[in-house]
Structure 1
Amino acid sequence: MAIGWPRDRKMTEPAAPPSQVSASREPTGRAPGATRSLTARLVTGLSSLLILGGLILAFAAFAYGRTAARDAFDRLLVGAANDIAASISIRDGAPVVDLPVSAFELLALAPDDRIAYQISGPGGAVLTGYQDLPRPTSSARDLVLYDARFKGEPARFIRVTRRFAERQFSGTVEVIVGQTLRARTQLAFSITRNALGGLAVGGIAMLAFAILIVHSALRPLERLAKGIAERDPQDLTPIRAAVPGEVDVLVQATNGFMARLDRQFATMKSLISDTAHQLRTPVAALRAQSDLAAEEDDPARREEIVVKLHAGTVRLSRLLDQMLSRALVIHRADSARRERVDLRDIALDIFEEGDHAALSPGAEIRLEIGDEEVAVLADALSLSEAAKNLLGNALRHGKAPVTIGAEQENGQARLWVRDSGPGPAPELRARLGERFTPGRSGAGRRGASSGLGLAIAQSVAETYGGTLEMESDAPGFTIAIVLPAAEEHR
């Protein structure tokens, strides 16, 4: 046997049992851990979005309203100042002002605002109007708009400069007209209020339509929940429902979960059925033998009965081990994560554990493994249980020596056990994967049963996409778990 390769052996421990979860149900109210409904989330999200957007649009609308109001009323100031400047004339070498009524009619369009004006000649001498009106900081242009305060109130001013170059008078005359900002502020707020009113109506309409759409979209979920609630507790058949693609993912996951539950229930039912069927007879026989031993006075006869009792307890123990092993393997098929497993490790672990010595004392066991990795994606514990059952079956029903090995060829990995006997009859091989199949004649005890060992091996092979193969050749009868080989590490 070739076993001297360097390797990093990793022992796979059985999965820890899941924590116990209370099965009690709440008769009313939401389920434990349930969060807010999608409708409530949508309403909250859209409301927050609309409020935030409304605040942003309110600032933008107010800024736009102030700009629009300023432009509108600035035109009134420009018109009034130009009218006043146009009314200035030169008489006897001095500027004379004839204030036009039209200028003040323009400014009267803002009735709540206060108006101020000043007309000054060369040297800043005030010809008419307020004496102390604020002046602009820049005097380079003939028309200047600026902000200042008038009588403690914010106001908007315009300065228009008219230049004269006549024989009797040469110089400049400045016209300053100001107006407070009450009408401008009112117009800006009016524009903002109108904009936000339209936004509020549109937002409420969007929110209402969104709620209707969500209710319509969630209606398939309500039908699905109703259908599941009305199901019989024993009905674990797949759910067939016309649902949107997004919900179909949930349906498929639920169907997968129910399929795993169905397999678990089937395993428990099978275990209970097998236990009731297979244990009744040997337990009754043990009880009868024990009753005979208690009533027997002949020491020789009593010793014979004790030997039969021991043999019966051994068979019963082996049967219980196989039943529990089968239940464990089927359970791990759905719960254990598939990992990269080297079948050489499985064969070597079984060979080194030496459990076969207790099963068949003195039997010769051999190991045949090579230097190349024989990797598969599976559960190491399940493969180990299956291989142990194959080895135990060969020791009980086959002929020594018995060999266990692993190899890979043509993209397939094989974990095999071979004994030196001829194997079962051809008509019996097709039934060896069934539970409690009668044993092969000519090998081992006559009429013995193969029990669950081969059924366990076949279940493990099918779980991981493989098969259970049997063949007879010159070395003897070989039975192997054949699985797809895993890809090489890169």
Structure 2
Amino acid sequence: MKRPAALDRLGVRLLLLFVLLALAMTVVFMSGMQHAIGGGWRGLVRPLVRDYVDRLAEEIGSPPDVGRAQALVARLPLSIRIDGPQVQWDSHPGLQGRPERPFPPRPPWHGAGGLRWMADPQADDDDGSERGWLLVTRMTPDGHRLRFGLADVPWRHRPRSIGGLTLALLLGLTLAAYALIRRWLRPLDDIRAGAQRYGRGEFDAPIPVRDRGELGRLAGQINTMAGDLHGMLEAKRALLLAISHELRSPLTRARLNAELVEAGASREALLRDLGEMGALIGDLIEGERLAAGHAALQREPVELALLVEAVAVETAEAAGLDESALARALDFALEGVPERLDVDPARWRLLVRNLVGNALRHGAAPVRVSLAREAGELVLTVRDHGPGVSDEALAHLGEAFYRPDAARGRGQGGVGLGLHLCRLVAQAHGGRLQLRAARPGLEVQVRMPWPEPAEEGDLRR
């Protein structure tokens, strides 16, 4: 059986624990007190009741005097019934012929001297009371049976509103306890939200420290840890950018010197390796820039369909496809986004170039490139018809420097940053990268919130 979701909250579990503990303590206390004083109470009350009933029987006399019995009933809250050879009288005729039953809670002296409880069925329920007998029997010397009882039971005289008021008070106390527990545990919600922000790389908003207790100290320690991690990440990013920038100058000189080498296979291999190193440095720098998210974007009005088609064709031409092969390799479906949109054209060029380049390099024709609007999202889809990748490799595509060995080798180019940069571009635009094994081939979708349409007066730059 599945546990209710509310029980997963620590505050609810603590509140239930307190309520159950209070109920258990009440039951144990009441039971202990009843057993502690019950015996002594019975020992005190029994002789008093017996002596009092004996005096009442003497006052009525033998044979019983009905007038004296009526005087007692008029003066005291008693019920008297006389059964015998000479006198048959009952102060409460409505109780005659009714069965006797114990009254809960059971009186401490129950069972002594023939005490029984008899309910009056003629009692009016609206007055909040119940009339009946707590019976004690005495025999007179002339053979009459005197039965004494209480004429009006005080247990039912109390207003019914006391029960409702008590229940409302208990509910109020429970709600107050829950509110207090929620206030005490509120720092846990702040800590959870802060941990989620830190996990997304958002270190600008620290966890608020609301008190000086254990949870407050925990929030402060987590903030300190997050600050240290942020500093380490920033130092790593700065070092990576510095190394990348510093490598560009000697790389440029090496390429210039390679151009002076005698033409041949060695020269071509050297230039290819230097070009791969330059692309790697450029990708590293771009990746660190995109880590800033929206702050790295430079939006402007762009006819997105034309941009996607132009970049895809340029990528195919750079891959060595001639005009006839290019027509067979690329299949466009761009009619779904005819208008101009505010996007970052440089990042979109990088996005389309990497996706189409991967599809042409590791897949097979035709490569279908489509733009569409779905449920308020801008969707770019690139699907090839190649061998695709395994499910295990699919789960890791998009990670930095990940290269599925079954799909490519070193000679095929790429260092495992293409899809990683595509993921960063999608995230910078507030979207996400999705990969699916199309069988055959691989389908990559970039989904991001629909950009604001460009105004009529805007010009494409």
Q: Normalization by structure 1: what TM-score?
A: 0.37
Greater strand proportion? 1
Larger Rg computed on CA atoms: 1
RCO (CA 8 Å, sep 6+): is it higher in 1 or 2?
Answer: 1
Q: Normalization by structure 2: what TM-score?
A: 0.39
